[in-house]
Amino acid sequence: MSSSKQIGIFCGSFNPIHIGHTALANYLCEFEGLDELWFMVTPHNPIKHSADLWDDEFRLRLVKSATGDYSKFKASDFEFKLPKPSYTINTLEELHKAYPDSKFHLIIGSDNWHLFPRWKQSEDIIANYSIIIYPRLGYDVDATQLPSTVRLSAAPVFEISSTFIREALKDGKDIRCMLHPEVYKQIKEWM
C-alpha cells in the first residue's frame, strides 16, 4: 500500500511573493516531511476594496517565477475557480475531492492561529484537516495546548512582509535580495 502524498497548502495574496515565503516553504519541505508545497494564490475578493492588491494573474505569474526552479513547489490558481468570497474550508473540501489520494496540511502563521476561532467552520477544519503553524514574532503558541491535528513548526522566523516590499519599491529602494531575481525583474518592468 502506497502512502499518500503530503502536500502543504500555503494560501495567501503573495502581493508580492518574497524570500520569506519561499524560505519558510523550503524549510517545511526539507525538514518537516512535506512532499510538495502549493502556493495557493488567493484571488482579489470583490467584496473587499483593496487598492494595494495587485492583479490576480500578475501575482500568480510572480509566484510561478519564484517557485519554478524547486521541484517541491507548485504555484496554484485553484482558488481562482472557486466561488467568491474564498473560504479556507471550501478550498480544503474541493482539494480533497479533486485529489483524494493526497493528504493536505494547511499552513498558517501563529498570528492567524490566534484569529482561527473566527474563521468560517474553524472547528471542521481542525477536525478534518492537518494544520501546521509557523512562528511569527509576537504571537506565541503553546504547543502542549494544540489539538492532535495541529502542530507547531520549528521553522525559523522570517519577518519580511509584502507590505514592506511594496513600500520599499514605491520609495525606490533596491531590495533585489529580498525577492527572487526573476520576480524583482518583472516587478521593475511592470512599475
Q: What's the CATH number of domain 5-190, 1.20.120.430, 3.30.70.120, 3.50.50.60, 3.40.50.620?
A: 3.40.50.620
Share of the chain above pLDDT 70, in %: 95
Give me the pLDDT at residue 50, please: 66
Of the candidates 84, 65, 83, 74, the residue with the CA atom closest to the CA atom of residue 40: 74
Q: Is the pLDDT of residue 45 over 90?
A: no
The CA-CA-CA angle for residues 95, 104, 54, to 5°, reads 65
pLDDT band at 42; cut points 50, 70, 90: very high
- pLDDT band of residue 10 (cuts 50, 70, 90) is very high
Q: Which residue, among 6, 12, 5, has the nearest Cα to 88 in the 3D structure?
A: 12
For position 175, what pLDDT does the model report?
Answer: 94
Nearest to 107 by CA among 17, 40, 61, 178: 40
Q: Is the pLDDT of residue 78 over 90?
A: yes
pTM above 0.85, yes or no: yes
Q: Which residues have C-beta within 8 Å of that of residue 24, sequence separation ≥ 6?
A: 134, 155, 158
Domain boundaries, the chain: 5-190
Q: What is the pLDDT of residue 109?
A: 96
Q: Supply the pLDDT for residue 1.
A: 46
Quick: pLDDT tens for 120-173.
999 999 999 999 999 999 999 999 999 999 999 999 998 899 999 999 999 999
